[in-house]
A and B are shown apart, each in its own frame.
Chain A
Amino acid sequence: MKSAGRRLRPPLLSAAAFAAALLAAQVSADQAAPQTPARPAAPARTATPARYAPPRLANGKPDLQGIWQVRNTANWNLQAHGGSYKTPAGLGVVVDPPDGSIPYRPEALVIKQKNWTGREAEDPLEKCYLAGVPRTMYLPYPLQILQTETEVAILSEYVHTWRWIPLTPLDRYPGYESWMGDPRGRWDGDTLVVETVGHNDQTWFDHAGNFHSDALTVIERLTRTAADVITYEATMTDPKVFTRPWTIRMPLYLHRDMDRILENECYIYAEEAGKPIRGQHPNE
């Protein structure tokens, strides 16, 4: 680990208010990556989907339990992109800024471009590392949500990892730094809001090399907007890398064809295939 963990307490502005304040002054970030064509007229995205009455737990809170998975290409590239070798095309999932671009600081954009060039080797998922937050939520693997009145657990097939999200007060562990972050949850009406800090600087947002620092805060919003849909939203704040907070939004779809998740033991499969992934000893 390169640096000590850092807890960032961003001002609790709503992302929308923050975005509105910055919109006028926003400098359009340079999205020179060759995979990022000019954004086409995207289908309208409604921030407030039609009212749906979700199933509820005994305490009246929405029941988000089930096996869920996205049906998009966010894992390959959060931004709009055409198809390329081993990469399916996608309209992009960045809804704020409205032009669908990630608002990098100029010096950070240089790192993003370097990541893009080296992605086939350097994407942490190529090494079977933990995907981090939010990427774990839009991997091409199912995840199961389990819930009690005091906690939510999100369990991913990919390298058997869980997120445990307390809904009751819990002091943060000083200096927590990790691949999956340290989440806290609360209900905002019928929306589960999860604030995650304590990230390391090793995970990427996607295969295209979009990245963050250890100053990242992610605020996710999960709303069951239809029987088979959770509308998933995540707002990223990281002043070391981005000029302003930015937001992705996508549906998670309920698997009606699965009664349990399976497993994907990426690094063991690599070893069994004779292509072991080895860490680099710091002294070598």
Chain B
Amino acid sequence: MNRQVAAGLQIFFIGRVVALAVLVAAAHLRAQEPIPQPRTSGGCPVESRAFYECAMAQAKTFKVPRTAEGRPDFQGFWRSRNNGIAYDVEPGPGSFSVPPTAGEIIDPADKKIPYQPWAVAKRNELRTKGFEDPQGHCAPSGAPRKNNTLFGWRIIQPKGYVTFLYESMHDYRIIPTDGRKHLPASIKTWHGDPVGHWEGDTLVVDYTNLNGKHWFDMSGNFQSENIHVVERYTMFTPDTILFVATIEDSTLYTRPWTLAFSLERNKEPGYYQLEYACHEGERDLQHFTDDTRQVGR
């Protein structure tokens, strides 16, 4: 990315907390811009369920490139199909700063998060307080949202690890692939504890120890510290990975649910991973005051 783009996006994200009318108006205008939506990814339709079925079918016959260790070689630059803005994991008509979305959920079939009744009410309340989205405060994005952040990431595969180096907030995931034990449950983190293993040619990453403060998107869909996320990465063309995340939390949801989207190799000519210093460049959160918190009440 370049710095001007980064600055603009920063204002875009944080803009939702800003009391200054002019900035709110700017953010609102940006939200109305159409998001480019290619109809296919890796030769598959992008509608989440159809994409999942198609990519799984293609993966059965795809000859995956391999590292010296004999594992699928995911190394290089990747980004999610949207180039990383998680507006709403559910399908929706759009709202302030969120454009209409097709949703990412493949299970349940209605593409809705199977919230318990009290939890859906809380989500609806959070949805009116977009300025409290932790990512808008430069907090780490957690799992699975980190794979839906701007500018994508570099994957490197040192022996025994798959490691993601994200441009967004210079964040990283160090994923050991030895299936080691998780951290003690008493340790709660913004990043979670990713432990990976290979199932055939699929990288499976098991996430626990998340602190439950994350949102899945900009629409108030939320987590608790009991969340358990299993991510699965399956390459099905040289330039496309099927990303699937299954989310379990019996304190919030009536059943596990699953989302899926495409990760595409970033082949943009001249792309150079720059530094996205979110907190250091932050110039809007001083407007996030007790008064701001009254908005929407």
Interface residues of A (CB under 8 A from B): 1, 58, 65, 128-130, 144, 146-148, 151, 153, 155, 159-162, 164, 173, 176, 178-180, 202, 259-263, 265, 267-268, 271, 276-282, 284
Contacts and interface: CB of A to CB of B under 8 A. Distances in A.
A155 B174 contact: yes
A279 B35 CA distance: 30
Contact of A279 (B139, B161, B285): B285
B163 A146 contact: yes
B170 A161 contact: yes
Contacts of A146: 156, 158, 161, 163, 174
B283 interface: yes
Contacts of A176: 274
Given A58-B68, A146-B163, A278-B282, A179 B275 contact: yes
A259 B283 contact: no
B286 interface: yes
A177 to B, nearest CB: 8
A44 to B, nearest CB: 36
A131 to B, nearest CB: 11
A180 B275 contact: yes
Interface string B171-184: 11010100010010
The A interface is mostly helix, strand or loop, or mixed, namely loop
A148 B156 contact: yes
Contacts of B277: 129-130, 178-179
B284 interface: yes
Contacts of A130: 170, 277, 280
B276 to A, nearest CB: 10
B279 A267 contact: yes
B25 interface: no
28 contacts: A1-B3, A129-B277, A130-B277, A130-B280, A153-B156, A153-B158, A153-B163, A155-B163, A155-B172, A160-B191, A161-B172, A173-B272, A180-B170, A259-B176, A259-B180, A260-B176, A265-B190, A268-B137, A268-B138, A268-B139, A268-B140, A268-B190, A277-B279, A278-B285, A278-B286, A279-B281, A279-B283, A280-B283
B101 to A, nearest CB: 27
B157 interface: yes
Interface residues of B, number: 41
Contacts of A159: 279
A262 to B, nearest CB: 7
B283 A128 contact: no
Contacts of B295: none
B31 interface: no
Given A130-B170, A153-B163, A164-B165, 4 more contacts: A159-B279, A173-B272, A262-B183, A267-B138
Contacts of A129: 277, 279-280
B214 to A, nearest CB: 11
A214 B23 CA distance: 32
A148 B158 contact: yes
B82 interface: no
A273 to B, nearest CB: 14
Nearest to B189: A263
B169 A160 contact: yes
A162 B134 CA distance: 21
Contacts of B191: 160, 263
A160 B172 contact: yes
Nearest to A144: B174
Contacts of A155: 163, 172, 174
A97 to B, nearest CB: 32
A180 B163 CA distance: 19
Q: Among A271, A276, A282, which residue has the most Cβ atoms of chain B within 10 A?
A: A271
Query: Would you list the 5 A-B pairs with minimal beta carbon distance, nearest first?
Result: A278-B286, A178-B275, A146-B158, A173-B272, A279-B283
A243 B213 CA distance: 49
Contacts of A262: 183, 187, 189
Contacts of A278: 282, 285-286
Nearest to A159: B279
Interface in B249-285: 272-275, 277, 279-285
A146 B161 CA distance: 9
B154 A164 contact: yes
Contacts of B183: 260, 262
Nearest to B181: A259
Contacts of A263: 140, 189-191
Nearest to B75: A148
A260 B169 CA distance: 21
A190 to B, nearest CB: 19
B193 interface: yes
A58 B163 CA distance: 19
A176 B170 CA distance: 15
A201 to B, nearest CB: 13
B158 to A, nearest CB: 4
B283 A282 contact: yes
Contacts of A280: 283, 286
A275 B225 CA distance: 24
A165 B261 CA distance: 30
Contacts of A279: 280-286
B137 A271 contact: yes
A263 to B, nearest CB: 5
A259 B176 CA distance: 10
